[in-house]
């Protein structure tokens, strides 16, 4: 069965610092992978997705993610975090249904 | 383009009461999803519709939850009777089609508190 693990429940970074959010998946074939962001009181917004091809995927808001098949990982990165990036981030894998991780809450400090 | 609309945004009820949530997907989107997001968890799919037919309701607690999408557009999700463990955010999402990896667009959710 497919599953997603986000090892970090909560991460705090300073504004302007780099960010990496970890995601590991379990899937039987080439996975379809997604990163969503959820701001307080809001629904989920798609940041980026990977289906095939180039393993480095660019998304919105300056985010990127790298698919590493050997490590079953799809980590999300941003070179310089802004205060507005504070939110909950969800990694998801799947065909149907989409399976989400438990999320990582990002706090940004001045 | 208007996004996915949901109402109400918040609801507080007593256990054993009934409650209904409404969702209007993005215009033209054939596929509609209802998710339950319990505090500290990722969203979990409850039911998926393709037009007005059910594609997947394997995780819907059918003894108390029901959902319909009569005209293939908007949808309602009902809980009757509610239990304390139903306290969660109920998210509606839609996608253009039901294809593998198709992008799902989420509404703001309905936050339910059962006392």
What is the residue-level pLDDT of chain A in tens, covering all 110 positions? 788 999 999 999 999 999 999 999 988 777 889 999 999 878 899 999 998 888 999 999 999 999 999 999 999 999 999 999 999 999 999 876 789 999 999 999 99
Cis previous bond, B81, omega within 30: yes
Q: Which two tokens stand for residue B29?
A: 């989107």
Cis previous bond, B8, omega within 30: yes
**For residue B43, is pLDDT > 90?**
yes
Residue range A3-109 forms a domain whose CATH class is mainly beta
Q: Tell me which residues of chain A have a C-beta less than 8 Å from any C-beta of chain B.
A: 4, 32, 36, 41-46, 49, 51, 90, 92, 94-98, 100-103
- From the list A49, A95, A96, the residue facing B103 with the nearest CB is A49
CATH number at residue B22: 2.60.40.10
**For residue B1, is pLDDT > 70?**
no
| CB-based contact B75:B69 (threshold 8 Å) | yes
Q: Concatenated DSSP letters for A13-39? A: EETTS-EEE--EEE-SSSPPEEEEEE-
Range of the domain at B26: 5-98
Inter-chain contact A95–B104, Cβ cutoff 8 Å?
no
How close, in Å, is residue B92 to chain A by CA atoms? 9
Domains contained in chain B, number: 1
> Which residues from A are below 8 Å from B39, CB to CB?
none
Closest CA to B23 of B91, B96, B87, B88: B91
- From the list B56, B93, B105, the residue facing A96 with the nearest CB is B56
How close, in Å, is residue A57 to chain B by CA atoms? 15
Tell me, what's the pLDDT at A68? 93
Instruction: Kindly report the number of other CB atoms within 10 A of residue B51's CB atom.
Output: 13
The residue extents of the domains of chain A are 3-109
Please, which residues bridge with residue A36 across strands? A46, A90
Cis previous bond, A26, omega within 30: no
């Amino acid at each position: 069965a497919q599953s997603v693990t986000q090892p970090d429940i909560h991460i705090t970074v300073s504004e302007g610092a780099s960010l990496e959010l970890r995601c590991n998946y379990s899937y039987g074939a080439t996975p379809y992978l997604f990163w969503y962001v959820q701001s307080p009181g809001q629904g989920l917004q798609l940041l980026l997705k990977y289906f095939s091809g180039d393993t480095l995927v660019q998304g919105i808001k300056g985010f990127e993610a790298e698919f590493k098949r050997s490590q079953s990982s799809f980590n999300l990165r941003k070179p310089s975090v802004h205060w507005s990036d504070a939110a909950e981030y969800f990694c998801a894998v799947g065909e149907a249904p989409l399976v989400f991780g438990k999320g990582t809450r990002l706090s940004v400090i001045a | 383009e208007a996004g996915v609309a949901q109402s109400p945004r918040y609801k507080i009820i007593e256990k054993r009461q009934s409650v209904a949530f409404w969702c209007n997907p993005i215009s033209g989107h054939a596929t509609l999803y209802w998710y339950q997001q319990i505090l500290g968890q990722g969203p979990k799919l409850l039911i998926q519709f393709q037009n007005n037919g059910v594609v997947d309701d394997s995780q819907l607690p059918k003894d108390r939850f029901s959902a319909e999408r009569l005209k293939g557009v908007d949808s309602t999700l009902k809980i009757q009777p509610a239990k304390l463990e139903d306290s969660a955010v109920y998210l509606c999402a839609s996608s253009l089609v039901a294809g593998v990896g198709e992008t799902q667009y989420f509404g703001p959710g309905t936050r339910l508190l059962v006392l």
